[in-house]
Structure 1
Amino acid sequence: MRAWLFPGQGSQHRDMGSELFDRFPDLAETAGQIIGVPVRDLCRDVHGEYLGQTRYVQPAVFVVSALAARAASADGPPPDVVAGHSLGEFAALHVAGSLDFETALRLVVRRGEVMDRVSGGGMAALLGLPLEWVERTLAGLPDLELANHNLPDQFVVGGTAESVRAVVEAVRRHGTGRCVPLAVSVPAHTRFMASAAEEFGRLLREVRFTAPRIPVISNVTARPHDLDALADLLRDHVVRPVRWWDTLCHLSRSGVTEVTEVGPGEVLTRMWVRAADRLPRPTPPPASVPPPRAAPVPPAPTRPVPVPPRRGATTGSTVLQAEYDIRYPCLVGALGHGVTSPALLRRLGGAGLFGFLGTDGLGSAEVAAALGQLRDLPRYGAAWPTSGVDDRAVAQLYLSHDVRAVQVDGARRTVPPQVVRYRFTDGDRRVLVLTDDMATAVGFLRPADPHLVGALVAAGDLDAAAARRATTTPVATDVAVRRDALDLVPALARHRDRVAPTVRVGVAGVGSPAAVAAAFALGADFVVVTTLAQCTPEAATSDEAKDLLAGLDVTEVRDAPDPELFALGVRSRVAGRGTLYAARAEQLYRLYLRHDRLEDIPAADRAGVERVQFGRSLDEVWAEVAAPTVDDRHRMALVFGAYCRAATAAAVRGDRRRILDFRIPCGTDMGTFNRLTVDGPLADWRRRHVDLVVEELMAGAPGTN
C-alpha cells in the first residue's frame, strides 16, 4: 500500500513551490486572490515579512502541498491512504475529495488568522526522552501540554513562555535528551487555543464536506475520518495533540510499505524511516473472524427477539444461557456512572443478550430513575454499588423493581449481608461476582454464614424458607475472573467442582475471539465484556472519551490509584494515552505516603497540586468533600481521592477543559479489539453498537456459532 503524507507548519522555506506555480498558473492565481498576496511573492518572501507569520505560513504550505499532489497524481499512481501532519490534514482532505481547492484554502486562511490572534505562549521540541518522563514532567508543569507525539522519543509541548523555559531547565537537570525551543508564538494543539478553536468551529459548521474517496487519517484519533464527525474533529484539532506516532503505527498495521511526502521538506519521510524498526507489523485479518459486515449497521430490534435453543455447542454453559435467556454464554458487565445505560441494556435485550446497569457514582434517585426506564425490559441486571451506599436501601430498591440479577465487585472481599438478603428473597436470584482474588471467589462459592443469616432473620429481612436456602446454597451463581488473573480459572473450576458444582466460572475482560476461545480452553463457562462496552454509541460517556478509547493500543494502559481505595494504594487500570491522569494521581499518592497531614506538604508541592490537579485550594476541596473523618491522614486520602473521582466525572461528561485529567477505566481488551477491527466497519466507535461488539467476539469462538 502507498501513503501520501502532507507536512504542516514548520516545513516552509523560501522559494518553495516555484516550479508548481508555473505548472498550475490558474490555481496559483486563484490562491493569490484568496490569500491577498500573490503566492509566488508569498513563498519567495524576499523581505522576510510572510513566512514567519502563522496567518501566511499556513495557506502557503497548503497551496504548495495541494499543487504538489496534483503534479504527483499526473506523474504516477494515486495513494491508497493519505495523512497530514497538523495543517497538512487539510491538504490530505482536499486530495481525498472532501474539500475542493478553494474551500480548503479559505478554511486554511481563516484557521491561520484565528490562530495568529492568540497572543503569548510558545512551544518546544523534546528529543531523546521517553513518554513516561514527559508525562511526569508535564504533570508538574500545569501551564504546559503535549502538542505533538511524533515518535516514541520525539515530542512537542506548548504552553506559556514561562512553562517552556521551565521544561528547558527540567531537561537540562535530567541530563539526557534535548529540549529545543521553537520559533513560534502560539502554543498550537493545546487548551490555550480554545478561543481560536471556538471561532474556527463556527466557520466549520457552515462547510459542506464530502465523504473521502480514500481513507484520511485524523490527527486527533489516528483513525480514518468519518464524514459525520469531520467538522468536530477539525475544530478539536486546534486544541488536541497531533498523534503522529499513532498515525504511523496505524499506517503500518494497515499494510503501508511506501510513503511519499507531498509538499515542502522531508521531515515526515525522515520520521517514517527512523521509525521503521519500531513500527508494528501489518495486522492480518484473523482467520476465525468472518468477513466484515457491510455498512450501514442495522438498527437494534425494537422488541426482544426469540432466543433459539443452542445445539451442538462444545464450549460455554448452556445452563447459563437458559437462565439468563441469552443467545451466547456472554454477559456485558456494568461500568460505573451509568455508562452501561438503559439505552445500552435495551439494545442488548432486544438482541437476545444481557447486560448490567452501571450504578457506581450515581445517587439513589438516579438509580431508581434508570430502573424505572427498564421496568418493561425482560432481561437485564444491575451492579451492586461498591462504596458510600446504604446496602439495605440498595437491596430494597432492587427487590422492589424485581431486578433478577446483580453484579458484585470482588473489591468488597467479604459477602455483604444485604446481598444474601437479595439473593434468597422471593425465589433465587442471580449474583455475578467479578474478582481477581481466589480467597474472595471461594468466599462467594460458600453458603452464607449461619450467624449472618440469623441476623437477617431477626431483622425481618429473610423468612425461614429463604434462610434454609441461604445456609445450604452458594451465595454466587456465577464468578468471573478478570483476564489479568487467568491462571486462577483452572484452580477455581476445580474448587467449584468439589464444593459448588452449580456455580459457573467465567472470564471477564475479553477483547477478541481468540481471547474468548482461550477462556473456554481454560475451562470457563462464560465470558464477560467489560470496558469494550463504553466505546459504543449506546454507552453514556462522552464522545471525547470514546475517541480516545477507539485509538488506544494494547500497550497504552496504565495502573493508577483507584478513587475508592486510594488510601490502601489499590491500583486500577486506566487509559494511558491522551490523558495525564495516571501521573497526576500517582503524584498525589506519593505525597500521601510521605506526609501525615495536608499541612505537612511543602508549600511548593501544595501550590503545584492545587494549581494542576484541583484548580483551587485544598481547603476548598475539603470543604466540598464534607465527609466524616477519623484522623488527618484519612482527611488527606479523602481530599486526594476527590481528584480521582472528579477525573472520572470529567471523562464521562466530556469536559474539554480537563481532558488531560480524564480517568477512563480501561483494560488491554480495548486495544486488542481496536487491532481486530482496524480495517473493518467497527473501526469507528459510532458503528460499534454493543450487540455487534458481542457478535464480533463470539462469532469466531469455537462452539458459539
Structure 2
Amino acid sequence: MIHSAPLGESPEIGLGDAAFRADHRVRLAYVAGAMGKGIASERFVTTLARARILSFFGAGGLTLERIAAAISAIRSAVGPDAPFGVNFLHNQIIPGQEEALADLLIAEEVRTIEASAFIRVTPALVRYRLAGLESGLDGSPRIRNRILAKLSRPEVARQFLAPPDMQMVAALRASGAVTEAQARLAPLVPLADDICAEADSGGHTDRRVALTLVPHFRALRDEEAARNNLRQRIRIGAAGGIGAPDAIAASFMLGADFVMTGSINQCTPEAGTSDAAKDMLAAADLADFDIAPAGDMFEIGAKVQVLKRGTLFPGRANRLYELYRTHRSLDALAPETLAEIERRNFGRSVAAVWDETARHYARVAPRELAEAEADPRKKMAMVFRWYFIHSNRSAIEGRVEERANFQIHCGPAMGAANRWLRGTDHEDWRARHVDILAERLMREAGDIFRTRLVAMTM
C-alpha cells in the first residue's frame, strides 16, 4: 500500500549512507540516473533538484551546445547550490567528444558527473577529476569535482576505486592539462567518490546479479583502499532491477550506501521522451524485455536491454549484428536480404542511409569516415549503426508509424513498478511525477526495511 505523507516528511531518511546525503547536499540516499538523449531532461533534473534529490542530466548523444544550454537552464531554475549533475558517457568511437565534454564541464564548473558505459578509464575523465583538486590548509586534498561511476565489471571498478593511473597523470601534466599541484595530489584520492554496482538493467547491461555484485564491489573497495592507503571511503550503491520498494529495501540489506533508479523514470511526465513510448512502458510486465546489440558499441558485441512488447526492434537489431558478424561487406549480403533490411529496418535505401551517415562523420569525425571508405566492413557497421540511432530517435520523438522499430532502453524494473502502482492513483504515468515516485519508493522501502529488521531480531 502506498502511504500519502506529504513531500518533505521523510521518515526513511536514515536509509543509506549519511555521508552520501551530506556530500551531495540531498535528503535521500537515492539517485535518479541519467537517461541519454535528454530523456533525463532539464525538467526532470530541476524537479528532483528542488526536492533535494540527486539526478543527472542525460547528456549522452547530445551536442555540446545542447548540453551547455541545459546546464544554464537548470541552474537558472534551481540556483547554484541545488544538487544535480551531468552524465559523462564513454565514447569509444569518437574519443575527442569526451575531451570536448570535459572542457565544457570544467569551464561550467559542473561539480558532479555520472560516468557510465566505461570499459576503461580515459584521459578526459582523469582530467575532469584532477581539475577539481585543491590542497587544503593541512596539505590534504580537497575534492571539488565528484565522480559517481555506474559500473558492472570488477576489472573496471578497480580502476575507479584506485587513484588515477600515474602515467596518465604525468602525460596530462606534461601537456599542461593539469597543474603540478593537482598531479601531486592525484595519488592521494581515488578516481571516484561513489560507485554504483549496476546489475541487470535497462540500456547497457552485462546482466550481473545484484546479490553477488554489490557485496563484491564492497570487498573490492576495501581491498583497493588498503592497497593504496586511501583515507577516503568510496560509497557503493545499487542499481539495476530497482522498480519497487522491496528491491530498495533488499539493496540496503545487502549493504548498499545508496540506490539508483533508471528505467522506471522514463515513465514519468518529466522524462524527455514521447507519450507513445510512455504508454508502451506503462503497459509492460516483467517478461516484456529482451537483449539487443548496443548501437554505440556495435562492433564489439556489447548489449543493451530494451522493451520487447509492442516493437520488433530486438529481433531486427540482433539480425543486423549477426549479418555483420558473418559478412565482410554490404556487397556480400544477398540482394533479397539487403532489400528486406531496406524495407523493414531502414524504410529507405542503403545509399540514402550511407549519404546521411557520411555527411555526419564528415562533420564530426572525418578520420572515421576515411577509414570506413577504405574498409567495407567498417562501412557496413556504420550503416547498420544508423538503424540504432534512427530507432532510438523514433521512440523519443513518438513517430507512431515507426512503432515496430522503437528502441526503448528498459528492464524488468519497469514491470515491477507497474505492478506496484496498479490500482493506485499513480497507475497512470501522467501522475507518476519523478520526485513523488522517489519519495514514495524510499518511504515504503523504509517501512519494509524496519519491519523485516524487527522480524529478524525477534
CA contact (8 A) 1:310 1:318 kept: no
User: Which stretch shifts more, 353-362 or 388-397?
Assistant: 388-397
**How many pairs align?**
404
1:609 aligns with 2:341: yes
Q: Distance in 1 between matches of 2:446 and 2:340?
A: 54
User: Counterpart of 1:441?
Assistant: 157
Structure 2 residue 84 is the aligned partner of structure 1 residue 353: no
Out of 209, 212, 221, the position equivalent to 1:496 is 221
**Partner amino acid, structure 2, of 1:383:** N
Q: Structure 2: 5+ residue runs without aligned partners?
A: 134-142, 201-207, 226-231, 362-368, 451-458
2:159 paired with 1:452: no
- Offset at residue 478 of structure 1 (A): 0.8
Paired residue for 2:437? Answer: 693
Give 1:576's aligned residue: 308
2:189 alignment partner in structure 1: 473
**Letter aligned with residue 442 of structure 1:** R
Alignment of 1:139-178 (within 5 A): none
Contact map agreement 1:321 1:329 (CA 8 A) in 2: yes
Q: Which residue identity lines up with residue 508 of structure 1 in the other structure?
A: A
1:594 Cα deviation from its structure 2 partner: 2.1
Q: Is the 8 A contact 1:536 1:687 kept in 2?
A: yes
Aligned partners of 1:308 and 1:481: how far apart in 2?
A: 25
CA offsets, 1:183-203, max 9 Å, x none? xxxxxxxxxxxxxxxxxxxxx
Aligned to 2:129: 423
Aligned residue for 1:320?
A: 20
Q: CA deviation at 1:468?
A: 2.2
Q: Matches of 2:303 and 2:147 in 1, distance apart?
A: 25
Letter in 2 for 1:455: A
Which digits, 9 at most, give the CA deviation of each residue in 1:383-415, with x for residues without a partner?
013323522221121112211111111x32111
CA distance in 1, matches of 2:2, 2:125: 41
SS at match of 1:623: helix
Structure 1 segments, 4+ long, off by >4 Å, are: 307-311
**C-alpha distance after superposition, 1:473-500 (max 9, x if no partner):** 1101111112322112112101212323
Tell me the amino acid that sits aligned with residue 48 of structure 2: L
Q: What is the CA–CA distance in structure 2 between the aligned matches of 1:548 and 1:652, rounded to whole Å?
A: 12
Query: What does the per-residue CA deviation read over 1:449-486, in whole Å, with 9 as the maximum and x for residues that have no partner?
Result: 11110111122221122212222211011111123221
Asked if residue 524 in structure 1 is aligned to residue 239 in structure 2, the reply is no
Is the Cα–Cα contact under 8 Å of residues 10 and 443 in structure 2 kept in the other structure?
A: no
Q: 1:100-119 residue pairs with structure 2 within 5 A?
A: none
The residue aligned with 2:428 is 684
Q: How far 1:552 moved relative to its partner?
A: 0.5
Please state whether the residue corresponding to 2:415 is helix, strand or coil: helix
Structure 1 counterpart of 2:391, which letter? A
User: CA 1:535 to 1:308, structure 2 compared with 1: closer, same or farther past 3 Å?
Assistant: closer
Does the Cα contact within 8 Å between 1:375 and 1:401 map onto a contact in 2?
no
Q: Secondary structure at the match of 1:433?
A: strand
Query: Cα gap change, 1:544/1:309 in structure 2, threshold over 3 Å: closer, same or farther?
Result: closer
Aligned partner of 1:559 in structure 2 is 291
Q: Is the 8 A contact 2:235 2:257 kept in 1?
A: yes
Report 1:357-372 matches (<5 A). Answer: 357-372=57-72
Per the alignment, do residues 308 and 402 of structure 1 end up closer, same or farther by CA in structure 2, a change over 3 Å counting?
farther
Bigger CA radius of gyration: 1
Shift of 1:309: 11
Deviation at 1:646, TM superposition (A): 0.6
TM-score normalised by the chain length of structure 2: 0.84
Q: 1:350: how far off?
A: 0.9
State whether residues 238 and 256 of structure 2, in contact with CA within 8 Å, keep that contact through their aligned partners in structure 1. Answer: yes
Alignment partners' CA distance in 2, 1:506 and 1:291: 25
Q: Which amino acid aligns with 1:386?
A: H
Q: 2:126 is aligned with what amino acid?
A: V
Q: Percent identity?
A: 36
Which deviates further from its counterpart, 693-702 or 580-589? 693-702
Matched, 1:391 2:123: no
Aligned residue runs from structure 1 range 106-505, under 5 A: 289-291=1-3, 313=14, 315-376=15-76, 377=78, 378-387=82-91, 388=94, 389-409=96-116, 411-427=117-133, 428=143, 429-484=145-200, 485=208, 486=210, 487-500=212-225, 502-505=233-236
Contact 1:349–1:379 (Cα < 8 Å) also in 2: yes
Q: Shift in Å at residue 559 of structure 1?
A: 0.3
Partner amino acid for 1:416? Answer: T
2:237 maps to which residue? 506
Structure-2 separation of matches of 1:604 and 1:621? 18
AA at the equivalent of 2:383: V
Letter in structure 2 aligned against 1:418? A
SS at 2:147 equivalent: strand
TM normalised by structure 1 equals 0.55
Q: Is the 8 A contact 2:120 2:156 kept in 1?
A: yes
The answer to whether the aligner puts 1:646 opposite 2:390 as a matched pair is: yes
Match 1:670 to one of 408, 414, 439: 414
For residues 2-47 of structure 1, the C-alpha deviation after alignment (integer angstroms, 9 at most, x for no partner) is: xxxxxxxxxxxxxxxxxxxxxxxxxxxxxxxxxxxxxxxxxxxxxx
Residues 627-657 of structure 1: CA deviation (Å, up to 9, x unaligned): 3135211111111111011100000010111
Alpha-carbon distance in structure 2 between the residues aligned to 1:569 and 1:391: 21
What displacement does 1:590 show? 1.7
Which structure has more helix as a fraction of its residues? 2
> Structure 1: which 5+ runs fail to align?
1-288
2:377 counterpart of 1:633: yes
Deviation at 1:520, TM superposition (A): 1.2
TM-superposed deviation, 1:570: 1.5
Whichever residue aligns with residue 617 of structure 1, its letter is S
Q: Does structure 1 retain, via aligned residues, the 8 Å contact 2:298–2:385? A: yes
Provide the secondary structure at the position in 1 that maps to 2:290. strand
Secondary structure of the residue that 1:616 maps to in structure 2? coil
How many Å separate the matches in 1 of 2:125 and 2:3? 44
SS of the equivalent of 1:470 reads helix
CA distance in 1, matches of 2:327, 2:403: 29
The alpha carbon displacement at 1:292 in A equals 5.7
User: After superposition, what is the alpha-carbon deviation per residue over 1:517-576, rounded to whole angstroms, capped at 9, x for unaligned?
Assistant: 111111111100111111110111000000000111011010011111111121100001
Q: Do the aligned residues in 1 keep the contact of 2:3 with 2:440 (CA within 8 Å)?
A: no
Secondary structure of 1:700's counterpart equals helix
SS in 1 for 2:47: helix
| Amino acid in structure 2 at the alignment position of 1:535 | C
CA deviation string 1:140-171 (max 9, x = no partner): xxxxxxxxxxxxxxxxxxxxxxxxxxxxxxxx
Q: Name the amino acid aligned to 1:526.
A: F
Q: Which amino acid aligns with 1:357?
A: F
- C-alpha RMSD of the superposition: 2.0
| Equivalent residue, structure 2, for 1:16 | none
Residue identity matched to 2:106: L
How far the C-alpha of 1:447 sits from its partner, in A, is: 0.4
Taking structure 1 as reference, are residues 472 and 649 closer, same or farther at Cα in structure 2, changes over 3 Å only?
same
Higher relative contact order (CA 8 A, sep 6+): 2
The whole-number CA distance in structure 2 between the counterparts of 1:386 and 1:417 is 11
Distance (whole Å) between structure 1 residues aligned to residue 150 and residue 101 of structure 2 = 19
* Alignment check: 8 A CA contact 1:420 1:470 kept: no
